[in-house]
């Protein structure tokens, strides 16, 4: 008898779900190319519940039950694609279902199981990712993706207390080039240093996002961004880091950049109907 060892992927014959996972893989490649994803650095999760059909709901667990570490009532029955812990973005870019997995949140809203394709344990930053998804669902937000990465120049900024003060970095970054305010219109929130993967960091991240930011810095660590999809979350980080690079380029030329004036930035808000 020939045993067919070919494992069917959850992505087979599911175009919408496959597109979401392909987009995660594409962004993972960008993170690596930009030098933001050393070793296993960074993580991505996407709420894929809207792509889940009855056949997926019937899939058995392929892992033990794992605790999230916190209870998240809005995630009951939700499904997420998650980067695997200790997995590399550069590997995920080529093999997203070997370096990430799909999880189901159980009815206690405090635990989860892996359902596909392989028992790849989700990212250590799962508490922050899931707490933020819970917050977004509670608010009725259309945001489904969250990206954590280590962008060199933005992380460097957080090593200066001045830039950790509310909206000092936002104002400087917005003033480097008009696009940054247009495409990261809520600016950059700041979260003081906390232990990676901790529930405290998750709580502080939600608090910062609730303060009306889509992108927040984890001091001396990285950035955490949310948006409708993974591409849009990546774009917000990318425009912010571009501004940081312009700031540094001017500094390297021997001067502190003037930045756009307050009037020029106000004019942008009116012309493009921006929230801040
Ligand atoms: P994981 O490999 O567990 O996703 O951790 C990477 C990281 O950046 C932690 O902050
Ligand atoms: Zn990190």
> For position 5, what pLDDT does the model report?
53
Distance CA 253, CA 122 (A): 43
Q: How far is CA 213 from CA 20, 21, 48, 55, 187, in A?
A: 24, 25, 23, 37, 6
HEC readout, the chain: CCCCCCCCCCCCCCHHHHHHHHHHHHHHHHHHHCCCCCCCCCEEEEECHHHCCHHHHCCCCCCCCEECCCCCHHHCCCEEEEEECCCCHHHHCCCCCCCEEEEEECCCCCEEEEEECCCCCECCCHHHHHHHHHHHHHCCCCCCEEEEECCHHHHHHCCCHHHHCCCHHHHHHHCCCHHHHHHCCCCEEEECCCCCCCHHHHHHHHHHHHCCCCEEEECCCEEEEEECCHHHHHHHHHHHHHHHHHHHHHHHCCCCCCCCCHHHHHHHHHHCCCCC
Q: Which one of the listed residues 38, 125, 263, 267 is annotated catalytic?
A: 125
Q: How big is the chain, counted in residues?
A: 276
Q: Is 205 in the pocket of ligand 1 (CB under 6 A)?
A: no
Instruction: Provide the residue ranges of all domains of the chain, joining segments of one domain with +.
Output: 15-148, 151-271
CB under 8 Å to 47, separation ≥6 — which residues? 78, 79, 80, 133, 136, 137, 144, 145
**Bridge partners (DSSP) listed for residue 102:** 81, 116
**Hey, do 15-148 and 151-271 end up sharing a CATH topology, with the first three levels equal?**
yes
Q: Which fold has domain 151-271?
A: L-fuculose-1-phosphate Aldolase (3.40.225)
pLDDT category at 7 given cuts 50, 70, 90 is confident
Q: What is the phi-psi region of residue 216: left when phi exceeds 0, alpha when psi lies from -120 to 50, beta otherwise?
A: beta
Give the atom of ligand 1 at the shortest distance from the alpha carbon of 218. 10
Kindly report, residue by residue over 95-147, the tens digit of the pLDDT: 999 999 999 999 999 999 999 999 999 999 999 999 999 999 999 999 999 99
CA distances from 172 to 134, 167, 258 (A): 31, 8, 9
Q: How far is the CA of 88 from the centre of ligand 1 (A)?
A: 9
Distance, in Å, from the CA atom of 185 to the CA atom of 263, rounded to the nearest integer, reads 16
Q: Residue 83: CB within 6 Å of ligand 1?
A: yes
Q: Is the beta carbon of 73 within 6 A of some atom in ligand 1?
A: no
Please, what's the largest Cα pairwise distance for the chain?
Answer: 77
- Say how many Å lie between the CA of residue 129 and the centre of ligand 1: 11
CATH topology of domain 15-148: L-fuculose-1-phosphate Aldolase (3.40.225)
Q: What is the pLDDT of residues 173-191, one digit of tens each?
A: 999 999 999 999 999 999 9
Whether 179 is catalytic: no
What's phi and psi for 152, nearest 5 deg?
-55, -55
pLDDT digits (tens, 9 = 90+) for 195-253: 999 999 999 999 999 999 999 999 999 999 999 999 999 999 999 999 999 999 999 99
Q: Is 242 in the pocket of ligand 1 (CB under 6 A)?
A: no
């Amino acid at each position: 008898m020939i045993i067919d060892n070919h494992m069917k992927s959850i992505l087979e014959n599911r175009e919408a779900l496959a597109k979401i996972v392909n987009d995660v893989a594409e962004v993972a490649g960008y993170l690596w190319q930009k030098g933001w994803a050393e070793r296993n650095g960074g993580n991505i999760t996407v709420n894929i519940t809207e792509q889940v059909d009855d056949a997926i709901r019937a899939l058995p667990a392929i892992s033990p039950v794992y605790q999230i570490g916190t209870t998240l009532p809005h995630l009951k029955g939700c499904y997420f694609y998650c980067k695997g812990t200790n997995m590399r973005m550069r590997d995920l870019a080529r093999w997203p279902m070997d370096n990430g997995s799909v999880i189901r949140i159980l009815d206690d809203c405090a635990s989860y199981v892996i359902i596909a394709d392989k028992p790849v344990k989700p990212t250590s930053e799962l508490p922050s990712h899931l707490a933020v998804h819970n917050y977004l669902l509670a608010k009725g937000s259309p945001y489904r993706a969250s990206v954590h990465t280590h962008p060199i120049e933005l992380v460097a900024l957080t090593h200066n207390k001045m830039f950790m003060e509310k909206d000092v970095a936002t104002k400087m970054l917005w003033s480097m080039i008009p696009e940054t305010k247009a495409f990261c219109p809520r600016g950059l929130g700041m979260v003081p240093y906390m232990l990676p993967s901790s529930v405290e960091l998750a709580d502080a991240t939600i608090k910062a996002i609730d303060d009306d930011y889509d992108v927040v810095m984890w001091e001396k660590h990285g950035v955490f961004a949310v948006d409708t999809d993974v591409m849009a979350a990546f774009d917000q980080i990318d425009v912010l880091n571009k501004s940081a690079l312009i700031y540094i380029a001017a500094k390297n030329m021997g001067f502190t950049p003037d930045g756009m004036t307050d009037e020029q930035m106000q004019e942008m808000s009116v012309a493009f109907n921006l929230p801040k």
